[in-house]
Chains A and B, each alone.
Chain A
Amino acid sequence: MGAYLVRRILAFIPTLLISVTLIFILTRLVPGNPVWALVGHQSVSEEKIKEVSHELGLDRPVLVQYLTWLPKALSGDFGSSIFFNRPVVAVIADRFPVTLTLAGLAMLLTLALAIPLGIFAATRQNSLVDHATSVFSTLGVSLPSFWLGFLLIILFAVTLHWFPSSGYRPLSMGIVPWLSRLVLPVIALALSQVALLVRTTRSSMLEVLGMEYVTAARAKGLSEAKVIYKHALRNAFISIITVIGLTFALSLGGSVIIENVFAIPGLGQLITTAAIRRDYPVIEGGMMYLTVISLAVNLLVDISYTLINPRVVYE
């Protein structure tokens, strides 16, 4: 296992090197220039644009820019944001807790709803509850999250006045201001995740419940709860944990749509705004962060397989 981990972590290095190079090249290939967003694009002279480009070092050949940037980037220094005038790492560190909170709460809600519902639907296949769960999960997957977000705002903020319509307050301002602004975005984000996980849980459980060892367990006279929760769920969890890992990794990258709809200053909003304004250091730092998160979560998911099922051995 130890050797496997070392191999996996070493494999991160070429992956990261290829990623940073691709990210750098792609950001420079896309037409546009942060100078336009900084100075404005109306009635601005060409001389002014050249002057600001020079100040930002954007008039140097791309290869020179890359070779200056690469060693620093690999050591985690992506430079300073053109618009925020402070290190990209600090900007990302500011947004990370916001996205982590949103993603974490959405995942907790997802797990609390999806796994019991999925098991319930699988153990009562073709019942009314199973059909209702199928309808719910199909709706959850199909409904666009921006639409659901607006629906929640109109119902719970505008009509019922139960929650604020948008915005974010840090926990330091109090638990009520913090939580009240997260309820609607968490629900909006969690719904599609719940729908996906319910389907995965149900189908995995159905597959496992049909296996011979489950029949044998039942024949041995084990209680139904023991059969389901001790024997069936443990095996079904391999595919469930894969979906959880992927969903969580995606959420940690920031939900662009949910963050925009609810005006939440998370990583999704940061990277989108940076892309619109061509804030190269933030785009590069943000994409690098996403790459690392994806690699790390994938590794954690792989490790979790061995914990769930001891028969899985990495050599």
Chain B
Amino acid sequence: MHSSLKRTIGLVALLCLVAAAGLYAADAPKKGGTLNVGLHIPLATLDWQSTVSHPLPHVMGNVFEGLSAFGKDFTAVPELAESWQASADGKVWTFKLRKGVLFHNLKEMTSTDVKASVARWLKVGPKGPGLTTLDRLDAPDKYTFKMYFKEPIGQSLLLTLGSDENKCVIYPKEVCDASPKGGTLSAVIGTGPYKFTEYKEDQYVKLTRFDKYVPRADAPDYQSGKKVPYLNQIIFWIVPESSTRVAGLESGDYDVITDIPDTEYDNLKEADGVVPIKNGPGILLYMMFNHKTGPTSNIYIRKAIQAALDIDEVVAAGVPNPDFRVLDPSFYPPESAYNTAVRSELFNQSNIERAKQYLQKAGYADELITYQVIATAPRNVRVGVAVVEQLKKAGINAEVRNYDLQTWVTKRRDPNSLMIYSSEGYWIDPSLYEPEFTGTFPSKEVAFSDPMVDKVFKGLAQESDPQKRFKLGEQLQNQFFEKVATINLGYAYRLVARRDYVMDPEGNLALGNLTLNNVWLNK
């Protein structure tokens, strides 16, 4: 071969190698940098064990860990537990803990810390007291933790412990001992990939990488698996106005922003260097009733409402962007393994005539039916207005009542005030509905209760077999439709956005709360 040709081929090969190396370097995750996150509301507390209040999981999900967590498919996966096993009778759960896991104060996490943390969560946590059949806790050796129950308990235990609302996170025993009351912690120390550094009230929360973090060996799996902290620092800035968060993302002041109205999607899609992300699972918009007193305690009134509603129109009013809403009859989101079409004939009926027949059967005499909404939650208001307009068409004397959040919460507990309210949330597993449909929520005077539903919940609590649980999930949905315990008003998806240099290869930003492990900056 001619020598100049050889040189040319050699040069081309070299250039290809350099280019490939460059591409690899650009794609390879790298450590460093500060991620600025624009968060929508201030934190009420730093003590995750004591609250279901948002946006704590967005922040503390990166600091604290529990025995179990949610994986990408929103099922419970081990986090600080290496494995778990239920006894044959389902009354004893044994958790084998991971060895060598360090707290941010560099002390090793052991079963003593787990026992103290679970005991504290049972006392101060809103969800903890729900484990009513718990008998005792035990830490027989350094890496084994046991929970003894009076009655069998199934997979729902793992969901309750790992709930990303009020997660049973593990603190060092000294912190638990020094922080007997909920809402205050003697120190913010967890085992997560990032450690808490500073909280400036209503301004920011700073986290820094925990260099001694010991990740799991298994593949990254949303809140669990191999979690790598690439960022030097994460700062969560409190920016209450959504338009300011959007402007801050566009100007580069923030790298990630949360809780943006879906109407901003097209604007963000057009903006330079910005990537809007549809975040799931779908959030159920649902309607709740006063089941004990007043017109809505009459099942035929509730059936009339169920028959009258055109959910397509209601969800479109609540979620203007069609890409961010889904019409799905199931009470379990489309992403849930329990999603089912059971009794879907009772969903989205939009049948005014049938509604009128039910009203006649109920002996409805034009009583005022009020629908309370949260004035500061635009989606909630739009849904309320759409529902009320449809109820009027069916001949129901309905009216929207606007309240601020605190008044709304108070009024929905008051049997003399509450008739209908709507809210939103996601229930991946049927058992997660239990606190709201067993006669106590939002207060005993207005709550739904039904022996058949109680029986289903009992089955869900005890059963671990996926197929049997699915059947129980169907039974629960059947009861919800049949008794009009609640009404599904469609699903909404959240919108978050990032700058294009924020790398998220695992797609964590598209899932639930902000989980920033394996996220890195390519700047």
Give me 19 other A-B pairs in contact (C-beta within 8 A), A39-B182, A55-B181, A157-B253 excluded. A33-B410, A37-B53, A38-B183, A39-B126, A43-B52, A43-B126, A44-B126, A45-B130, A85-B183, A94-B201, A150-B243, A153-B251, A158-B247, A158-B251, A166-B248, A167-B239, A265-B238, A269-B202, A278-B406
A31-B411, A36-B409, A265-B202 known; A273 vs B248 contact (CB < 8 Å): no
Please name all residues of chain A whose beta carbon is closer than 8 Å to the beta carbon of B44 when the two chains form the complex: 37-38, 40, 83, 277
Bound form: Cα–Cα A263–B239 in Å: 5
Please name all residues of chain A whose beta carbon is closer than 8 Å to the beta carbon of B252 when the two chains form the complex: 161
Q: How many A-B residue pairs have CB under 8 A?
A: 145
Please name all residues of chain B whose beta carbon is closer than 8 Å to the beta carbon of A154 when the two chains form the complex: 247
Bound form: Cα–Cα A269–B51 in Å: 23
Please name all residues of chain B whose beta carbon is closer than 8 Å to the beta carbon of A273 when the two chains form the complex: 42, 202
Choice from A43, A46, A83, A276 contacting B443 with Cβ under 8 Å: A46
Most chain B CB inside 10 Å of its own CB: which residue of A38, A43, A46: A43
With both beta carbons as reference points, the residue of chain B lying nearest to A56 in the complex is identified as B183
Indicate whether B395 reaches chain A with its CB closer than 8 angstroms: no
B166 to chain A, nearest CB (A): 7
B441 to chain A, nearest CB (A): 6
With both beta carbons as reference points, the residue of chain B lying nearest to A37 in the complex is identified as B44
A39-B126, A43-B127 known; A263 vs B240 contact (CB < 8 Å): yes
Most chain B CB inside 10 Å of its own CB: which residue of A150, A158, A270, A277: A158
Indicate whether B250 reaches chain A with its CB closer than 8 angstroms: yes
Interchain CB contact under 8 A, A38 and B51: yes
Interchain CB contact under 8 A, B406 and A43: no
Choice from B165, B239, B444 contacting A166 with Cβ under 8 Å: B239
Choice from B182, B240, B247, B409 contacting A41 with Cβ under 8 Å: B409
A31-B410, A38-B51, A165-B247 known; A48 vs B129 contact (CB < 8 Å): yes
A48-B129, A261-B241 known; A165 vs B165 contact (CB < 8 Å): no
Please name all residues of chain A whose beta carbon is closer than 8 Å to the beta carbon of B241 when the two chains form the complex: 260-261, 263
Please name all residues of chain A whose beta carbon is closer than 8 Å to the beta carbon of B166 when the two chains form the complex: 40
Interchain CB contact under 8 A, A158 and B203: no
Chain B, range 425-459, C-beta contacts under 8 Å to A = 425, 435-436, 440-441, 443-444
Indicate whether B237 reaches chain A with its CB closer than 8 angstroms: yes
Bound form: Cα–Cα A37–B184 in Å: 14
Bound form: Cα–Cα A94–B184 in Å: 20
10 closest A-B pairs by beta carbon, nearest first, are: A32-B406, A40-B52, A40-B53, A43-B435, A31-B410, A165-B248, A44-B126, A31-B407, A263-B239, A157-B251
Bound form: Cα–Cα A166–B410 in Å: 34
Q: Could you give 21 example pairs across A and B, Cβ below 8 Å?
A: A32-B407, A36-B406, A38-B45, A38-B51, A40-B51, A40-B126, A40-B166, A43-B127, A43-B165, A43-B436, A45-B441, A46-B443, A84-B201, A157-B253, A260-B240, A261-B243, A263-B240, A263-B244, A265-B203, A269-B240, A270-B202
Q: Is chain B's interface secondary structure helix, strand, loop, or mixed overall?
A: loop
B residues within 8 Å of A by Cβ? 42, 44-45, 50-54, 126-127, 129-130, 165-166, 181-184, 200-203, 237-241, 243-244, 247-248, 250-253, 376, 403-407, 409-411, 423, 425, 435-436, 440-441, 443-444
Bound form: Cα–Cα A41–B421 in Å: 13
A267 to chain B, nearest CB (A): 11
Please name all residues of chain B whose beta carbon is closer than 8 Å to the beta carbon of A40 when the two chains form the complex: 44, 51-54, 126, 165-166
B184 to chain A, nearest CB (A): 5
A135 to chain B, nearest CB (A): 27
Please name all residues of chain B whose beta carbon is closer than 8 Å to the beta carbon of A30 when the two chains form the complex: 406-407
Interchain CB contact under 8 A, B126 and A48: yes
Choice from A33, A45, A263 contacting B238 with Cβ under 8 Å: A263
Indicate whether A142 reaches chain B with its CB closer than 8 angstroms: no
Interface size class of A (residues with CB under 8 A): 35 or more
Bound form: Cα–Cα A48–B200 in Å: 28
Interchain CB contact under 8 A, A276 and B405: yes
- Interface flags for A3-42 (1: CB within 8 Å of B; 0: not) read 0000000000000000000000000001111001111111
Bound form: Cα–Cα A8–B443 in Å: 51
Interchain CB contact under 8 A, A168 and B203: yes
A46 to chain B, nearest CB (A): 6
Interchain CB contact under 8 A, B126 and A165: no
B250 to chain A, nearest CB (A): 5
With both beta carbons as reference points, the residue of chain B lying nearest to A47 in the complex is identified as B129
Chain A, range 69-109, C-beta contacts under 8 Å to B = 83-85, 91, 94
Interchain CB contact under 8 A, B409 and A32: yes
Please name all residues of chain A whose beta carbon is closer than 8 Å to the beta carbon of B435 when the two chains form the complex: 43, 45
Interchain CB contact under 8 A, A45 and B237: no
B417 to chain A, nearest CB (A): 9
With both beta carbons as reference points, the residue of chain A lying nearest to B441 in the complex is identified as A43
B287 to chain A, nearest CB (A): 15
With both beta carbons as reference points, the residue of chain A lying nearest to B410 in the complex is identified as A31
